[in-house]
Amino acid sequence: MKELKLAPVGSFMHCREGFGEAIGHHGELLQGVFESDGGRLRRGLVSLPCPNLRSKARFLANGEMQVSVSPQSCEKAKRAAALTLNTFAQTGIGGNVTINSNIAIGRGMGSSTADVVATILAVLDYLNVQTSIDRVMQIAVEAETACDSTLFSQHAVLFAQREGLVIEAFTNSLPNVDIISIDAAPAQSVDTVTFKPAEYSHIEIETFRSLLALLRHAIKTSNLKLLGRVATASARINQRFLPKPHLDRIEEIGVRHGAIGMQVAHSGTVVGLMFDPEDEKNAAHMELATRDLRRSGFEQSILHTTSVSCR
């Protein structure tokens, strides 16, 4: 993607605020190890963006050299603000970042990446600076070690989450999909940074090659059933590294009620049953699946009980 020229910064008005916003996601459609240009194997993922999950950041310079953040627990956003200021500000600037987010923490829904990206955009807005998406994601990776492709919400990309670069940009956007979201382990919280990366077998790596080809075709043709097959296969592989309790039971309920597949947060706790929004029986299918999930003990774990469009 083209690198944009930086706008002149000059002296900063301390009364001016900068604003940024980023979306979360509902885990991944596919995550594994993939071959990039030159034959190098890279860890990568294709996120399932959810625009109804959002983090909003506000930055205001405070006349000091240090950066503070509210809530104080958002340390990654604090680092992101400092890195952005050190990279783009012509003079030493500190300030306060305020985060407002509706994304659950530790569920694998991109809460920290959304906070980080929103913060970077807020600081850039304050500085009146433009830069490329690639540069923003590189700062995000530096701030939190690994990040998701939330900034590419209008594009379908295979993203190297620990390097901040796009392995492959698909020709089309992801097709619309509806989900029932289940928190399979509500008592568990997963820290993406400390979570040990999966050590895939040779057979699994070969499987990812095939799944990527299928995903590429599914996106090109808007084939939701094929998309569901890819996501389900990726979810099953992930069970060896971060098992979701009762995943077989969740999948069985989905199959019974017309789900096109299931997907998971590969470094989190959520599971999504995927449905076709163009199916005339979709609403009834989702209602029946939700009923059976509740009867199976997921009453307190269903995050969305109605149709949720992820694009």
Cα 239 versus chain centre, distance:
19
295 and 153 together in one domain: no
C-alpha of 38 from chain center: 27
Q: Which of 116, 148, 168 is the last residue of a domain?
A: 168
Instruction: Tell me which of 145, 168, 191 is where a domain ends.
Output: 168
φ/ψ of residue 50, rounded to 5? -130, 100
Q: Return the pLDDT at 149.
A: 77
Both 190 and 158 in one domain: the answer is: no
Give residue 303's pLDDT band: very low, low, confident or very high (50, 70, 90). Answer: low
CATH number at residue 219: 3.30.70.890
For the chain, give the percent of residues with pLDDT over 90. 65
pLDDT per residue as tens digits for the range 111-138: 999 999 999 999 999 999 999 988 998 8
Question: Does the pLDDT at position 280 exceed 90?
Answer: yes
d(CA 218, CA 234): 15
CB atoms within 10 A of CB 304: 17
Q: State pLDDT tens for residues 201-217.
A: 999 999 999 999 999 99
* 96 & 159 share domain: yes
Mean pLDDT of the chain: 87
47 lies in which domain range?
Answer: 17-168
Tell me what the mean pLDDT of segment 156-184 comes to: 90
Radius of gyration of the chain (CA): 20
Query: Confidence class of residue 196 from pLDDT cuts 50, 70 and 90?
Result: confident
3 state SS for the chain: CCCCCCCCCCCCCCCCEEEEEEEEEEEEEEEEEEECHHHCEEEEEEEEEEEEEEEEEEEEECCCCCEEEECCCCHHHHHHHHHHHHHHCCCCCCEEEEEEECCCCCCCCCHHHHHHHHHHHHHHHHHCCCCCHHHHHHHHHHHHCCCCCHHHCCCCEEEECCCCEEEEECCCCCCCCEEEEEECCCCCCCCCCCCCCCCCCHHHHHHHHHHHHHHHHHHHHCCHHHHHHHHHHHHHHHCCCCCCCCHHHHHHHHHHCCCCEEEECCCCCEEEEEECCCCCCHHHHHHHHHHHHHHHHHCCCEEECCCCECC
pLDDT value at residue 1: 41
Residues 135 and 234 in one domain: no
Higher pLDDT, 55 or 64: 55
Q: Do 147 and 189 belong together in one domain?
A: no
Clarify whether residues 103 and 237 are in a common domain. no
Confidence of residue 299 (pLDDT cuts 50, 70, 90): confident
What is the structure's pLDDT at 50? 87
11 located within any domain:
no
Residue that wins the pLDDT comparison between 195 and 280: 280
Total domains present in the chain: 2
CA distances from 132 to 30, 37, 48, 252 (A): 25, 21, 22, 44
pTM of the model: 0.87
pLDDT tens sequence across 218-261 = 999 999 999 999 999 999 999 999 999 999 999 999 999 999 99
Examine residue 55 and state whether it is found in any structural domain, yes or no. Answer: yes
Q: Supply the pLDDT for residue 121.
A: 96
Residue 183, CB half-sphere, CA atoms under 13 Å: how many?
18
- What's the pLDDT score for residue 5? 37
Q: What is the CATH number of the domain that holds 43?
A: 3.30.230.10
Asked if residue 154 has pLDDT above 70, the reply is: no
**Distance between CA 195 and CA 198 in Å, rounded?**
9
Pair 27, 159 in one domain: yes
pLDDT at residue 191 above 70? no
Using the predicted structure, report yes or no on whether residue 305 has a pLDDT greater than 60.
no
Are 203 and 60 within one domain? no
Boundary-marking domain end, from 136, 168, 200: 168
